[in-house]
Chains A and B, each alone.
Chain A
Amino acid sequence: MAGLMSRASVVVKAKMSKLIDRAEDPNLTLDYSYEQQLQLLQNVKRGIADVVTSKKRVQLQSDNLEKSLVKLETQARDALGAGREDLARAALERKSAIQQQLQGLDQQVAQLEGQQEKLVSSERQLSAKIEAFRSQKEVIKAQYSAAEAQVRIGEAATGIGEQMADTGLAIQRARDKTEAMQARASAVDELIETGTLEDFTSDGTTQLDRELAQVSSQSQVDTELEKMKTELGSGAPQKEIGQ
């Protein structure tokens, strides 16, 4: 049985022969193939733009979650300061859940970056081959009889067709990854919306949120009061306030 290398080659050549067989007239074949190449180049450019958009979305989500980590940490500290260990624990539990999500998001960003690099490299190679094909196409049209042209076209088209198959696969794989990540990003958004990963300071809707917000604001009031007293030079420690 043929090995992996030759099997992959056979599949790609089969895709190519479909393209070459499509037109009887060599000049039409050349022009048609060139149109397909340009179309594919557009597709790969669009693919790159899509990956960049996805990456930005995941990064934005990640930034927002990072911010809520800081808030939750402060809230947990305030709650503990106010003797509410139960609230502090709840805040830290949410913090831990968010940290887990964040790790996943970081991996996604790295994967999207990998896809982006592959697509950019693929675009560069395809673009160079299209340019070479374009000049060769004009030479073939101008210099060869129909029979000779057929052979030359076969060679040029197989060379570029291989790149087209390769680029096509790169676009396909990037698309699959991007879709999977968008699905996951939506899932995280949903977790935030349902409150599973909600940060306590955002319009607290649950009892827990209200309690934490209250502790936070109480703590802030205490801090400000302390500050004002110090400024007024009363000097005496006012520990009893808010306790």
Chain B
Amino acid sequence: MIVRLMGEGQYRIDDGLRDRLEQLDGQALAALERDDEVELDGHLDSMWKLVTSEGQAMPPEDLHPSDVIIPPSDLTLEETRELFSEDGLIPDIPV
């Protein structure tokens, strides 16, 4: 499947990684709901590491859309929440 690391680029990963990624994702979500920024950032970092170490970077000219998108860990809790709202952090296209 194709994963986009937001602000970084796209990677192709084996489907076998999906479970591990989803597990971390669930933990990240729980941390966000608990307002635990440190733990949230830790899980996001682990997800990024997993993707960059075991996935394959896709060439930039590839136009395939990603199956999932992983947010960066350098956002505040507030910004991460805003990321998921349609009028939130991501500006409308065109910017």
Contacts of A118 in B (CB 8 A): 7
**B window 13-59: CB within 8 A of A:** 21-22, 25-26, 28-29, 32, 44, 47, 59
Interface size class, chain B = 35 or more
Nearest residue (CB) in B for A3 is B25
Residues of A within 8 A of B70 (CB): 4-5, 8
Q: A5-B68, A5-B69, A8-B69 are in contact. Are A164 and B93 (CB under 8 A)?
A: yes
Find out whether the CB atom of A169 lies under 8 angstroms from the CB atom of B6: yes
Contact between chains at B94 and A125 (CB < 8 Å): no
List A contacts of B9 (CB < 8 A).
121, 125
Give A118 to B5 CA distance when docked, in angstroms: 12
Known: A5-B21, A14-B86. A166 touches B4 (CB 8 A): yes
Specify which of A15, A122, A127 is in contact with B7 (CB 8 Å cutoff).
A122
Q: Please pick, from A3, A43, A128, A168, the residue contacting B59 in the complex, using a CB distance under 8 A.
A: A128
User: What 0/1 readout, one digit per residue, does chain A (1-43) give for beta carbons within 8 Å of chain B?
Assistant: 1011111110111111011000000000000000010011001
Contact flag A4-B60 (CB < 8 Å), given A18-B93, A168-B95: no
Q: Of all chain B residues, which has the CB nearest A33?
A: B93
Partner of B60, one of A13, A129, A165: A129
Known: A8-B70, A15-B92, A132-B63. 19 other contacts (CB 8 A): A3-B26, A4-B25, A4-B71, A4-B84, A11-B83, A11-B84, A11-B90, A19-B93, A36-B93, A118-B7, A127-B60, A133-B63, A159-B62, A161-B93, A168-B90, A169-B7, A169-B90, A171-B95, A172-B91
Chain A interface (Cβ < 8 Å from any Cβ of B): 1, 3-9, 11-16, 18-19, 36, 39-40, 43, 118, 121-122, 124-125, 127-129, 131-133, 136, 155-156, 158-162, 164-166, 168-172
